[in-house]
A = this chain, B = another copy of it.
Amino acid sequence: MTLSMYQASVPLLTRSLHNLVAILEKGAAHAEAQNIDPIVLINSRLYPNMFPLGRQVQIASDIARRGAARLAGLEAPKLEDDETTFAQLIDRLHKTTAYLETLTPEQIDGSEKKSITLPVGQDTMTFEGLSYLLYFMLPNVSFHVTTAYNILRHSGVELGKRDYLGQF
Contacts and interface: CB of A to CB of B under 8 A. Distances in A.
B139 A165 contact: yes
Given A146-B147, A154-B46, A135 B2 contact: no
A4 interface: yes
A156 interface: yes
A79 to B, nearest CB: 21
Interface of A is mostly: helix
B1 A113 contact: yes
B135 A146 contact: no
Interface stretch (A8-16, A27-35, A82-90, A95-103): A8-16
Contact of A47 (B16, B127, B140, B153): B153
